Amino acid sequence: MGRLTRRAFALAALSAFTTTGAAAGSGRASGPAGERWAATEMRGVWLATVANRDWPSRPGLSAAQQRSELLARLDLAVRNRLNTVMFQVRPTADALWPSSYEPWSAVLTGTQGKAPGWDPLGTAVKEAHARGLQLHAWFNPYRVATHADPTRLVASHPARKHPDWVVTYGGKLYYNPGLPAVRAFVQDAILDAVRKYPVDAVHFDDYFYPYPVAGHSFDDDAAYDRHGGSFPNRAAWRRDNIDRLVRETAARIKAVRPTTQFGISPFGVWRNASTDPRGSDTRALQSYDAVHADTRKWVREGWIDYIVPQLYWNIGFSAADYAALVPWWAQVARGSRTKLYIGEALYRAGDPAQPAAWQKPAELSRHLTLAEGHPEVRGHVFFAAKDVATDRIGAMARVVADHYGQPAKPPR
């Protein structure tokens, strides 16, 4: 997510773009040696590394310190009866493993390209599995840098070797999704991790084409002139570029490691019903139009194994009501092979800048209770790990007490 973290964007998105101002399965089953388990469900947490959001606490820690902090995050997930960690391993076209394609991430040492003296992704996979956790490797496909100066990238960076791949937009650098060479390279960089480690899933977040920035335009004229001739307009071409990324990545993952899943966590609104009768009863930014992500199509076509829409709004929020979006997504997932999990805004609980609903420790627990009425919802993922640790008003503790009384295994 860049310096504009998922938290910051979720705070800003609706104000900038609105047109108006029990977990699934409460039954029990016997686990190994007679241990009692809750029914299978996703209980996930995002572990964000961009800008050192959740880990490591700052750049430049020793390898031992970084490892200790990482293991503490995994142990905390276990204590909260979570079963999956979405670990951000490619925050800005760089890597948290010894990649054959991209430099080491600066979040580790403070210097892009400098080896940290250990293998964070390899350690995370091994230690997560030792604790009974799934490890989903989280990649941001197209973000190159959270600044606009290519010379600040390490000299060996692919974006410096291929400046024609890069678009400057809104003060940041992005790879151009309209270039087939970029799409192939991004997949190669991701598949490097899949080949090297038994990750349980490849996970994308909500950034495809960048979110709109007032007064800026994404300059892909040359790519559109060269590759967009068969499309009725640029928006349709851009959506096809992202569709191709999703389809091709899915196929290549299965070819390399058939047991590895592919999941995406998009912005929570596909389209508003006022724009498209198939859309949700919302008045918010539309991912279909704003970032050219046809998230509904990916589910209906079964291109991905799971989807985690970021429903980062409270029950009753007028522009994007959690209580309206859960049934909408459940209907989309009904009959599809794609599993539906719900992204939950733990970071908002107890934040004094948030509406009154988020000052109540029970708000998130109410979300899980509401979702129990929709069997298509197979679990929840919480943003993010640091907030599980701080748990300002006990919202996470309330979820655990109300819904996570027994351990549960994640869906396969």
Write out pLDDT tens, residues 6-19.
Answer: 444 443 344 334 33
Whole-angstrom distance, CA of residue 284 vs CA of residue 350: 24
CB within 8 A of 322, min separation 6: which ones?
Answer: 311, 313, 314, 315, 316, 367, 370
Q: Sign (positive/negative) of CA torsion 331, 267, 292, 272?
A: positive
Contact 409, 372 (CB under 8 A): no
Q: What is the pTM of this model?
A: 0.92
- The 10 Å Cβ neighbour count of residue 337 is 12
The verdict on residue 411 lying in a domain is no
Domain for residue 367, yes or no?
A: yes
Give the phi and the psi of residue 353 in degrees, each rounded to 5: -80, -10
Could you tell me the two tokens for 147? 């600044």
pLDDT tens digits, residue range 51-86?
999 999 999 999 999 999 999 999 999 999 999 999
Report pLDDT for 36: 64
Residue 120 sits in a domain of what CATH number?
3.20.20.80
37 is a domain residue: yes
Q: Which residues pair with 202 in a beta bridge?
A: 137, 262
pLDDT at 30 over 50: no
Residue 195: inside a domain, yes or no?
yes
Position 409 in a domain = no
278-288 pLDDT, tens digit per residue, is 999 999 999 99
The pLDDT of residue 108 = 98
pLDDT at 3: 33
Number of domains in the chain: 1
Q: Residue 379 pairs with which residues in a beta bridge?
A: 42
Pick from 253, 203, 198, 258: nearest CA to 44:
203
Domain that holds residue 124: 6-403
Residue 408 lies in a domain: no
Q: Helices (DSSP H) in 257-405: which residue ranges?
A: 287-290, 295-300, 322-333, 363-371, 385-390, 395-403
Rounded to an integer, the average pLDDT of 335-344 is 98
**How distant, in Å, are the alpha carbons of 3, 34, 46, 235, 277 from that of 343?**
20, 32, 9, 27, 24
CA dist 169 and 163 (Å) reads: 14
